[in-house]
Structure 1
């Protein structure tokens, strides 16, 4: 595991509210849509999101930028191994295209969430988090980095391309009842 220096730190469960907000922001509402589907009668879907983020924080899976008043940006990711994940008939349709793209990014460190509150944009935080992702990827011994982004998220794509990511594949966005303008998912890869 790498060591983080301020303003970076590993998230803690006490960051769960900000993390749920950042994850939903980065996912353009898809996380909240999923949390709503998981919520029991009367359960607040945000509580599900916070619990999921708290668990990831306990597992050390999230790095945050903390400028002294809590998390303002986050990075979550994981290693995609060298074997594709099986996509059977029971695989949820909403996630099928995303998994198909992940299966084309074998042996990579996958940037699952890169998010920054809008009030902190333009300060280089996204670039710093991508540099941190590269450092984590190298420490994990992978040969490449991967990101999947919505085709209409042009700002994020520009950031990723400035950092050496190249479009490799696309897949249609399956929307179900998720209200989104996204038409395609785009897989970007970067050699380390």
Structure 2
């Protein structure tokens, strides 16, 4: 991990509430759908999401922007190495197109979550986080970046395209029981 300067810092467990919100924003509601499926009858799906984000924060996997009042934006990503992930018959259909697109982005730093609270949008935070992601990718010796966006998320797509990302592939969204307006997933790639 690169050295972070204020207002950026590594997330900690206290950020779990904000992190769950941010992950759900970035995932177009898919995370909440997943957490709902994991919840037992008496469990709050959001608590499942918060617990999962707290665990990732403990592992030092999430960067947040914090101006002193708590996390208002977050970045999660990882290196996709040179071998594609196997997609067997038992691979969940909902995730199949996402994994197939990731398999088209080998040897890249994958922006898994880049999100900001709606009240903080339009202030350049997304661009700052994206530049930070690119520094992380470069520090890991990778020569390209990747991200998957929902076809109907025009704001996110504009942000990435302004930063030099270009469409590399698209696949239809498998909705199953997930109620969404998303029709397709779009893989965007940028050379560093």
Question: TM-score category by the smaller chain?
Answer: over 0.9
> In the alignment, is residue 43 of structure 1 matched against residue 43 of structure 2?
yes
Aligned to 1:161: 161
**2:59 paired residue number:** 59
In the alignment, structure 1 segments of 5+ residues that lack a partner are none
SS of 2:82's partner is coil
* Superposed displacement of residue 41, structure 1: 2.2
The TM-score with structure 2 as length reference comes to 0.99
- 1:12 — aligned with what? 12
- How far off is 1:179 after superposition? 1.0
Structure 2's unaligned 5+ residue stretches are none
User: How far apart in 1 are the matches of 2:156 and 2:92?
Assistant: 26
| Residues 8-67 of structure 1: per-residue CA shift (max 9 Å, x gap) | 001001100000011111112100000011112211111110011011111111000001
Q: What is the TM-score normalised by the length of structure 1?
A: 0.99
- Equivalent-residue separation in structure 1 for 2:136 and 2:178 (angstroms): 32
Consecutive aligned runs of 4 or more in structure 1 exceeding 6 Å deviation:
none
Cα RMSD, aligned residues only? 0.6
- Which residue of structure 2 aligns with residue 24 of structure 1? 24
